[in-house]
Amino acid sequence: MWIEAASAEHQRAFDEWGKCDRLEIKTCRPIIDGKRIPASHEAIVFAFLADGLEEPVGRFRYFDINPRNRSAEFGYTVNPIYRKQGMGTKMLITAINQIFSTTEINKLYCQTAAFNIASVRLLEKLCFCRDGILREHHELNGKLWDDYIYSILRSEWENRKFFNNKFT
């Protein structure tokens, strides 16, 4: 056996093989008219505000909404002035409650670096499941760190004490 760069002729053969297998088996992405729909770059963004403060306390965004498996990825940032005061915890609880109560999304997931202690602590405090480790995936200062994928399912969240807690 040997390898070589695939030619246009090889590519045509690969395309023919592709027709033998259902696309749904090969991808978890949505499929419309027999075509895989790539991730959209659009995001839904929430700003978190508090009485008496001019600037938002934090931002939460979710994106790559996959209507087939009903998942979405999310990211979050707390205004640096208000970190370590419980704002991140309140913000995530509020955002997750909002998403699960107003959409059909079944799973929310995010990717965070192993060195990001605040983020890891926040997700574990909210009982997210660490689904996987992307080993040596995240370069920082010349070192390759692991990234973690965390997720929460609708069914898990609905059994948590945070479900539908309201924070103002």
Give contact residues for ligand COA (rule: CB under 6 A).
Answer: 75-78, 83-89, 110, 112, 116-119, 121-122, 125
Least Å distance, CB 147 to ligand COA, is: 9
- Tallying the residues shown for the chain, one arrives at 168
The residue (of 37 and 151) whose beta carbon lies closer to ligand COA is: 151
- With the CA atoms of 164, 165, 167 and 168 taken in that order, what torsion angle do they form, in degrees rounded to the nearest 10? 60
> Distance between CA atoms of 105 and 11, rounded to whole angstroms?
37
Least Å distance, CB 75 to ligand COA, is: 5
The residue (of 105 and 110) whose beta carbon lies closer to ligand COA is: 110
> Distance between CA atoms of 127 and 28, rounded to whole angstroms?
25
The residue (of 67 and 86) whose beta carbon lies closer to ligand COA is: 86
CA 74 to chain CA centroid, Å, is 4
CA 8 to chain CA centroid, Å, is 36
Residue 92 vs residues 6, 47, 51, 61: alpha-carbon distances, Å: 46, 12, 18, 10
Least Å distance, CB 108 to ligand COA, is: 12
The residue (of 105 and 123) whose beta carbon lies closer to ligand COA is: 123
Q: Which residue has the tokens 């965070």?
A: 112
Least Å distance, CB 58 to ligand COA, is: 7
Torsion sign (Cα): 133, 163, 68, 43 = negative
Residue of closest CB approach to ligand COA: 88
126 in Cβ contact with 162 (< 8 Å): yes
Least Å distance, CB 32 to ligand COA, is: 30
The residue (of 84 and 166) whose beta carbon lies closer to ligand COA is: 84
